[in-house]
Amino acid sequence: MAAKVSIGVDIGGTNTEFGIVDGDGKVIERAMITTPKKDNINQFIDDLSTGIKRLVSKYSDFDYQGIGVGAPDGNFYKGTIEHASNLPFQGVIPFVSLLKERFPEMKKIALTNDANAAALGEMLYGGAKGMKNFIMITIGTGLGSGFVVNGELMYGSDGFAGELGHVTVTSEGRECGCGQFGHLETYCSATGMVRTAFELLSHHNATESLLANKSFNQTTSKDIFDAAKKGDEIALTVFEITGDILGQALADAVHISSPEAIFLFGGPVASGELLFKPVRESMESHLMPMFRGKVKVLPSRLRQGEAAILGASALVYK
């Protein structure tokens, strides 16, 4: 009997990756196209479809279960990408319908937002195997989150539930990409960490800091990690502040959904205990007594480069 596989597609601001994933979560082969800079959705769908068809024809012996798509501002209920701030496509794109026109033979085509897809990946192939209640946090340019409650992803009435990145952690705080102020992701994303570093550099006039010689646009969260490992005071303080704010927000999330575990995914997670220690301490200190000492905060078990494709492919089975 032919092996059952699915196709995962991850639409990012710069690149769109896709691949064939087997039932054990192994990426058999993957490919990539550039996400267009201009709003030309039909050309993009054509290019993506051609790429997928090329892979499928190379592995024509498999039993294809469907295509799962992870995209920023993806709506699971409607199969649409809606007003995505990091993609060039304007308005509401009926992405699933457009793909179905190109793949009428596929049993299932589904779409969700990228953080929800990562949560599904963690549940099927990662550290959340067997868990019915957990939260996935993806830390990158922004902060995404997927809430799994009673074994199901929480979508809410309109399909957009679980936007922890846009809870307010400080009123009149930093400006967020969504247009509001003081949201979690303006502090606890990779870019938020850089913003914190530059505030500290300026405030302390820290000309001797290892972070003082690069421009704002050139600095990454990896630079902050590297500087912290060398004992740089500013970099160490960035981790303390980031962990403190994230831990507080996670405590709020625990109060709402009572997860077994919270998984952190993304570049800054490689910083290990520098990030996890202040996160755990802050979360515990903000928790109500009945939740204390129960909720694990863990690094994602999905591999950095594969998580998005894996998660999207898992959508076919949900």
Binding site for Zn ion (CB under 5 A): 166, 176, 178, 180, 183
| Burial letters 167-204, b for 16+ CB under 10 A, else e | bebeeebbebbeeeebbbbbbbbbbbbbbbbbebbeee
User: Is the CB of 33 or the CB of 167 nearer to Zn ion?
Assistant: 167
User: Is the CB of 183 or the CB of 286 nearer to Zn ion?
Assistant: 183
Q: Which two tokens stand for residue 171?
A: 């009123």
Measured from the CB of residue 137, what is the shortest distance to Zn ion in angstroms?
A: 15
Between the alpha carbon of residue 69 and those of residues 79, 117, 134, 188, 191, the distances in Å are: 9, 8, 22, 26, 25
Helix (H) or strand (E) holding 136: strand 134-139
Q: Are 28 and 58 in contact, with CB atoms under 8 Å apart?
A: no
Measured from the CB of residue 148, what is the shortest distance to Zn ion in angstroms?
A: 22
| DSSP-assigned states of every residue in 6-41 | EEEEEE-SSEEEEEEEETTS-EEEEEEEEPPSS--H
Measured from the CB of residue 214, what is the shortest distance to Zn ion in angstroms?
A: 26
Residue whose CB is nearest to Zn ion in the complex, by number = 176
User: Is the CB of 179 or the CB of 293 nearer to Zn ion?
Assistant: 179
User: Is the CB of 178 or the CB of 298 nearer to Zn ion?
Assistant: 178
Strand order in the sheet with 74-75: 74-75, 80-82, 92-93
Measured from the CB of residue 173, what is the shortest distance to Zn ion in angstroms?
A: 10
Measured from the CB of residue 178, what is the shortest distance to Zn ion in angstroms?
A: 3
User: Is the CB of 71 or the CB of 169 nearer to Zn ion?
Assistant: 169
Which residue is listed with tokens 């969700």? 112
User: Is the CB of 17 or the CB of 73 nearer to Zn ion?
Assistant: 73
Q: Are 146 and 119 in contact, with CB atoms under 8 Å apart?
A: yes
Measured from the CB of residue 32, what is the shortest distance to Zn ion in angstroms?
A: 29
